[in-house]
Amino acid sequence: MTKLSDQLWMDAVQDVLHAGCRMDQRGWVPATAGNLSRRLADGRIAITRSGGHKGFLSEQDVIEIDPEGCPLAPGQKASAETLLHTQLYASDPAIGAVLHGHSVAATVLSMALDTPVLTLSGYELIKVFEGQSTHDTAIDVPFFANDQDIARLATVVAPSLGKMPAGYVIRGHGVYVWGRDMAMALARLEGLEFLLACELERRKR
């Protein structure tokens, strides 16, 4: 690597480590759950390796993959859900970071509701999502059935790409959100998780 490319890589790794700590503080990546990635300007992708607690990541826990999801160093293993990250990057060159977490609200709501989407409306925080400028609107968060065959799951998600401003939820599993950079992806994740928690709380009444 050149000094510049080496610095770009380290910046991406630090973004992933920071996101892991932030998500762990909120209880969104219990045990070995979740996976996080950041795309570099040169097309490389930094992603968490398979396994490991995302709240205790080290630089060695972030590996380099190509746009197809293949690790670039021998012996490294990417998360089983890497394809869901690379699918998003391939769908939109503006996406610079993808986050996946497993919160209580996302897990419970997606299993309790039998609708294909959760409609969020009237919340001020809706404005955190792309294209939203007022609380006086509604957006749908799609629910997709969980599937251990990630390639098959990706084909189910594919028709909705470009039409999910708030991200999506895998039932009984967790959320996927993204943004042009890690700061935006984190803001959208926090926004979605807040709104999911609000919806869960409302259903307890």
Residue 4, pLDDT > 70, answer no
The pLDDT value recorded for residue 2 is 62
Q: pLDDT tier at 3 (50, 70, 90 boundaries)? A: low
Q: Which residue has the higher pLDDT, 144 or 2?
A: 144
| pLDDT tens for each residue of 115-149 | 999 999 999 999 999 777 888 789 999 999 999 99
* CA neighbor of 134 nearest in space, from 142, 145, 126, 143: 126
* CA neighbor of 88 nearest in space, from 163, 140, 34: 163
Residue 5, pLDDT > 80, answer no
CATH code for the domain of 162: 3.40.225.10
Q: What is the C-alpha separation between 13 and 162, in angstroms, rounded? A: 27
Domain hosting 79: range is 3-202
* CA neighbor of 95 nearest in space, from 19, 147, 162, 190: 162
Residue 176, pLDDT > 90, answer yes
| pLDDT tens for each residue of 56-97 | 999 999 999 999 999 888 888 888 899 999 999 999 999 999
* CA neighbor of 176 nearest in space, from 161, 162, 163, 166: 166
Q: What is the C-alpha separation between 189 and 63, in angstroms, rounded? A: 22
Total tally of structural domains belonging to the chain: 1
